[in-house]
Amino acid sequence: MTTLPLRNNEGFLEDADSWTPKVAEEIAAEDSIQLNENHWEIIEFLRGFYKQHEMSPPSNRLFVKAVNEAFGDDKGNSIYLMQLFPGTPAKTACRIAGLPRPTNCL
């Protein structure tokens, strides 16, 4: 187990640049998520989205929409994303991806 970078009280990294794939695996393990290629595809997409827009998708609805535009209906839907990232998919996925908390997620 590696020492995780500084995080806030909700488990989000204080500094997105301190993220590594190993950090992602440890954060995911806290939620009993074993990352596979489907998770990594979404994590890499989110990190690219963040780099391009300098923000996390602001809500679950916009997260689903952005994934749909990038990957199509099979992956860009709430059910698929909820199976990968239980709870609030945008919030869970952003936390694992080392990104700031989506602004409009509960």
Task: Give the pLDDT confidence of 61-89 residue by residue, as tens digits.
Answer: 999 999 999 999 999 999 999 999 999 99
Q: Which of 32, 46, 105, 106 is catalytic?
A: 105
pTM to 2 decimal places: 0.92
Phi and psi at 7, nearest 5°, equal -130, 160
Active-site residue, 94 included: no
What is the rounded distance in angstroms from the CA atom of residue 63 to the CA atom of residue 53?
13
Q: What is the pLDDT of residues 2-20, one digit of tens each?
A: 678 999 999 999 998 999 9
CA-atom Rg of the chain in angstroms: 13
